[in-house]
């Protein structure tokens, strides 16, 4: 009789998803947390597999986008990550290897074609990924704006109450 493996049961989180900011929340919103970066699982196996199958004239284009919200109350929230990898055909990248990038000589037509194809492919990939994560970014930005407005209203109310007590 074959052994049936059970799905692992979820364990309690040992680390918080949100990085706590120093000071009060209003101060933390004004002073973004520096040095936080998103950590991702590497998809190197699939990328290396794609790289191994590259043929003449193909270039592997890969781009990954993620953002960590640097604002105090929402610090540590990761937007993304989203990744796109694909093969670009027709770009003779070997022609660009011959370019002396320190000289002011113009690129040949073949070199310019390879440059334009690769640059446009990277730009397009970035735009697609930016579009994909923009909805999440807008949701977080709206939450930050709403939180800041509420904090400002609260500060005004406290100042008004202090004036009334005098």
Q: Per residue in 53-101, pLDDT tens?
A: 888 788 899 888 888 877 666 777 788 888 889 999 988 888 998 899 9
Count of domains observed in the chain: 1
Decide if 18 is inside a domain: no
Helix (H, G, I), strand (E, B) or coil at 18: coil
Domain span holding position 75: 25-165
Model confidence at 23: pLDDT above 70: no
Decide if 121 is inside a domain: yes
The rounded distance, in Å, linking the Cα atoms of 129 and 151 is 33
Task: Quote the DSSP letter at residue 73.
Answer: G
Decide if 11 is inside a domain: no
Decide if 6 is inside a domain: no
Per-residue model confidence as pLDDT tens digits over 93-146: 889 988 999 999 999 999 999 999 999 999 999 999 988 888 778 888 888 888
Task: Quote the DSSP letter at residue 98.
Answer: T
Decide if 101 is inside a domain: yes
pTM metric for this prediction: 0.55
- Radius of gyration from C-alpha coordinates of the chain: 25
Decide if 9 is inside a domain: no
Decide if 3 is inside a domain: no
Model confidence at 21: pLDDT above 60: no
């Amino acid at each position: 009789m074959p052994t049936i493996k059970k799905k692992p049961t979820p364990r309690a989180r040992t680390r918080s998803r949100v990085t706590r900011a120093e000071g009060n929340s209003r101060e933390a919103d004004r002073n973004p947390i520096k040095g936080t970066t998103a950590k991702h699982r590497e998809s190197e196996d699939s990328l290396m597999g794609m790289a191994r199958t590259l043929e003449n004239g193909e270039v592997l284009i890969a781009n990954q986008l993620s953002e960590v919200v640097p604002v105090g109350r929402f610090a540590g929230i990761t937007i993304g990550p989203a990744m796109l990898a694909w093969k670009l055909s027709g770009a003779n990248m070997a022609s660009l290897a011959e370019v002396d990038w320190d000289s002011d000589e113009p690129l040949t037509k073949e070199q310019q074609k390879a440059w334009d194809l690769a640059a446009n492919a990277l730009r397009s990939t970035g735009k697609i990924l930016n579009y994909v994560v923009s909805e999440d970014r807008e949701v977080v930005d709206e939450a930050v704006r709403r939180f800041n407005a509420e904090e400002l209203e609260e500060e005004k109310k406290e100042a008004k109450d202090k004036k009334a007590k005098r």
